[in-house]
Amino acid sequence: MKLAGLPIEDYRHRLATTGIRVLTGPFSVRIRSSVTEFADLFRHFYGEFPLQTEPGIADFHVNLKQRQGVRRWWRPQVEFLWDGQSPFLPYPRSHAFPLFEWGLNWSIAMQGHQFLMLHAAGVERNGKVLLLPAWPGAGKSTLCAALVSHGWRLFSDEFGLVRHGDGQLLPLPRPVPLKNRSIGVIREYAKNAELGPDFPGTRKGTVAHLRTPDASVEQASLAAPPGWLVFPRYRAGASLRLEAVPKAQAFLKLSNNSFNYRLLGKRGFQGVARLVRDCDCHNLSYGNLDEAIEAMDLLAEA
């Protein structure tokens, strides 16, 4: 059963009381919240995600809760509770949805150590995954959103989840957060892209979320092998440059873009080494999305 299949009043009651368990990729998340603004946006962005209806324990227990006290009357705030604890400072109530997205990312990074976790976007074409490892500001999310709008399957904007046994990548498709200038770029570039509202004044500036394509949600249980490692870098006005990266350099760059490489020890080393061995590795510098997408399409076809 999908979340959108719940009648609206039943959905709101369950979300505010016992909580709703949603499956996102390999994880089960139990969410509770009585914050109306969050409830409406969560249903919009996660409506096609499956509910976990069978008995079992969720991987993460999350509560978006309005702060009490006199402030709630003129500057209402919301806090993110993880297993009953509050790891972050409260946010304005109007920013409840981006707080949930960032909080869930943090939760996965803290506990998802059954996988090698890379800080990378991932999209799939022709049965193989293109990994885009990058630090904030490199244009990773913008390029990921543009590729998804051109028919690539969204694996994840934030996590490359590598299974230890066989090196396969597991999808974790969720809304893609676009920041500041990237929001207007994607609104103009991908006319059919379904973006949510702008959230100005967050700790990362203005943020808006690209809704996960339904097809990517439906294929969220289908793992795929890695095919390409591309380290992107957006430079305004730059001509396209796609250059092969030596394997040793790619190893260093990728291990530094991992959430838990050092924590995993030998398994982390083996996982990164396998990825670098099995992938074509490139640096990508781009200033034009059309050129970047054409280059990625050519990689996939080759």
DSSP 194: -
How long, in residues, is the chain? 302
Identity at 72, one-letter amino acid code = R
For 11-15, 49-53, 94-98, which range has the lowest pLDDT when averaged over its residues?
49-53
What are the pLDDT digits (tens) for 223-233? 999 999 999 99
Cα dihedral sign for 45, 47, 48, 54? positive
* Amino acid 70: pLDDT: 58
Mean per-residue pLDDT over the chain, rounded: 93
Q: How would DSSP label each residue in 110-140?
A: HH-TTEEEEEEEEEEETTEEEEEE--TTSSH
* Amino acid 71: pLDDT: 63
What are the pLDDT digits (tens) for 64-114? 998 776 566 568 899 999 988 889 889 999 999 999 999 999 999 999 999
Q: Is 46 helix (H, G, I), strand (E, B) or coil?
A: helix
What are the pLDDT digits (tens) for 121-149? 999 999 999 999 988 778 899 999 999 99
Q: What is the dihedral of CA 152, 155, 161, 167, to 10 degrees?
A: -40
Cβ–Cβ under 8 Å, residues 178 and 186: yes
> Does pLDDT of 49 surpass 90?
yes
